């Protein structure tokens, strides 16, 4: 009989402990993610119909007059188109060929070369510019770039690119 009452006392004590722990929230499973945050700290939800403007019944945008007819080619545009050419092959292969061709051209000084960037920093006939080698859909594009990052249009750069084009068959 004594054993049964001890068991009851221990059972009641255990039940009291479990009830106390459950009431204090120790086993409580809270909300997860953004919903656990205070309402003012949650991210803003935008309804899908408000993310894009409603274009139903909108007037079409007229074509610009400059887009309707091609612009006359300026001297700068012609020079920019002459500052590069495309060669077939792989980028690393062409990079090596460009380096060999630059070394063979009299008057060219290669200040540095960066194969990862695909560029040669060169000096030629008093001008400093980069010769860039970039992979494109049609092969590899070899071009002269001035210090501003624009196509080099000075005479020395255009002359060097024309020489490279003749040597590489671009």
pTM of this structure: 0.53
| Domain at 127, CATH number | 3.30.310.170
pLDDT digits (tens, 9 = 90+) for 87-130: 988 999 999 999 999 999 999 999 999 988 899 999 999 899 99
Q: List the domain range (segments joined by +) for residue 18.
A: 2-39
Let me know if residue 157 belongs to a domain: yes
pLDDT digits (tens, 9 = 90+) for 37-96: 787 777 777 776 667 677 777 777 777 665 655 544 444 444 456 788 999 889 999 999
Q: Please give the structure tokens belonging to residue 153.
A: 């249009």
Distance CA 113, CA 130 (A): 9
> 163 and 84: one domain?
yes
> 33 and 86: one domain?
no
Q: Please give the structure tokens belonging to residue 82.
A: 């002459």
Number of domains in the chain: 2
Q: Please give the structure tokens belonging to residue 131.
A: 């010769």
Identify which of 169, 170, 85, 166 has the alpha carbon closest to the alpha carbon of residue 131.
Answer: 85
């Amino acid at each position: 009989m004594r054993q049964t009452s001890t068991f009851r006392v221990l059972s009641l004590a255990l039940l009291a402990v479990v009830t106390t722990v459950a009431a204090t929230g120790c086993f409580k499973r809270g909300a997860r993610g953004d919903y656990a945050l205070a309402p003012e700290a949650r991210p803003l939800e935008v309804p899908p119909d408000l993310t894009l403007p409603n274009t139903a019944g909108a007037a079409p945008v007229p074509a610009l007059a400059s887009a309707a007819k091609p612009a006359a080619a300026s001297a700068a545009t012609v020079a920019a188109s002459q500052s590069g050419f495309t060669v077939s092959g792989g980028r690393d292969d062409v990079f090596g060929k460009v380096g060999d061709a630059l070394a063979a051209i009299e008057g060219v000084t290669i200040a540095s070369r960066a194969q990862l960037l695909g560029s040669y920093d060169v000096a030629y006939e008093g001008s400093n510019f980069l010769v860039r080698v970039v992979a494109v859909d049609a092969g590899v594009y070899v071009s002269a770039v001035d210090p501003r990052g624009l196509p080099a249009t000075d005479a020395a750069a255009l002359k060097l690119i024309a020489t490279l084009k003749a040597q590489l068959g671009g």
